[in-house]
Amino acid sequence: MTTPAADNDTTTAASLAVDLAGLKLANPMMTASGTCGYAYEYAGLADLARLGAFVTKSITSQPRQGNEPQRIVETRAGMLNAIGLANIGLDAFMAEKLPDLRRLRDSGPRIIVNVAGHSLDEYVTTAGRIASEDIVDAIELNVSCPNVGDGLTFGTDPQLLKDLVRQVRGAMRKDCKLIVKLSPNVGDVTQTAGAAVEGGADVLSMINTYTAMAIDINKKRPRLANGTGGLSGPAIRPLAVYLVSMVYRHVAKPAGVPIVGMGGIQYWQDAVEFLLAGATGLAVGTALFVDPATPITVMDGLRGYLVKQGCSSITDVIGQLQIGGDTPRTPYP
């Protein structure tokens, strides 16, 4: 049996290095926002230095307590969460968390800060200020938030999304990449993906959670205090792979915009599906609750797959899904 080589071993047959619109990562593996805090909460559990990038939880302009408990429910093949963007807010993030992230970056991974807001101004101010820090390689916009102005969710309305992305891009340091994280809670994700690209997104990430509900049958009430929550984990993986393949073929590939794929990645085979569907980066969220080392074991498995496939680079696999005929845009045309 051969031992997987270390990620920085340049003698390996297959390179795992990927390029996200000019942001170079040693490997495609990253954490999914909100599933491992600001980084160091997680440091004792897995070797963060081996990640391609670390993605923080969503940061908002003001501190947020988040929703009342119960805010997490386990489901048969995943979990429902309604955390409600609990975070320490912009000022405390800059003062207390950035120094730790700087140290983490020095050890290898690129730093991606996820930003959320409830108005256009909030997004612009928060993203602009965080992006002014040289250690922040990219901002990931969580657009699954309602706008206080009109109640519309930014990520489900193409025009609103395009305006948001354009204004945030304009407020950011030029060499800081802008990743727009797409919501699956839309009729046609290629519309919102297209709007994000037109607005100036450098990278698309997908998918955020599916709105869902679990019911306590004795109390006859929703199990989450919030009523609804976001479904994640293996339950959503085939849905996520499908949406990545759609966005890759219809929007991202023609526009030359890379995709970070996520949604239920737990094993290396799952990661290969996302790569074949068109993802360049790969994020792991819910599976971290089962095994915090999941991104590392997935990465080692990917390396073995690439060698078996005779590939010299992971990029040989990206978007290589072969589809017979013209696949319909919807499952039931």
Ligand X SMILES: Cc1cc2nc3c(=O)[nH]c(=O)nc-3n(C[C@H](O)[C@H](O)[C@H](O)COP(=O)(O)O)c2cc1C
Residues near ligand X (CB under 6 A), total? 26
Q: Which residues are catalytic?
A: 145
Q: Which stretch binds ligand X (CB under 6 A): 38-46, 157-165, 263-271, 319-327?
A: 263-271
Q: Where are the beta strands (DSSP E) in 134-228?
A: 138-142, 177-181, 203-206, 210-212, 215-216, 221-222
Task: Rule CB under 6 A: choose which of 183, 209, 245, 280 binds ligand X.
Answer: 209
Site for ligand X in 28-57 (CB under 6 A): 32-35, 57
Choice between 14 and 196, CB closer to ligand X: 196
Structural tokens at position 185: 């809670």
**Under a CB-based contact definition with an 8 Å cutoff, are residues 33 and 56 in contact?**
yes
Choice between 15 and 140, CB closer to ligand X: 140
**Under a CB-based contact definition with an 8 Å cutoff, are residues 82 and 229 in contact?**
yes
> CB 127 → ligand X: shortest distance, Å?
13
Q: Are strands 281-284 and 259-261 parallel, antiparallel or unpaired?
A: parallel
Distance CA 331, CA 85 (A): 33
Q: Are strands 138-142 and 177-181 parallel, antiparallel or unpaired?
A: parallel
Q: Based on the shown chain and the rule CB under 6 A, indicate whether residue 261 belongs to the binding site for ligand X.
A: no
Q: Based on the shown chain and the rule CB under 6 A, indicate whether residue 264 belongs to the binding site for ligand X.
A: yes
Task: Rule CB under 6 A: choose which of 52, 263, 281, 319 binds ligand X.
Answer: 263
> CB 320 → ligand X: shortest distance, Å?
22
Task: Rule CB under 6 A: choose which of 233, 261, 292, 295 binds ligand X.
Answer: 233
- The alpha helices in the chain, defined as continuous H runs, are 90-92, 98-106, 120-131, 158-171, 189-199, 237-247, 253-255, 268-277, 294-308
Residue ranges that bind ligand X, judged by CB under 6 A: 32-35, 57-58, 79, 81, 83, 85, 114, 142, 181, 208-209, 232-233, 236, 262-265, 284-287
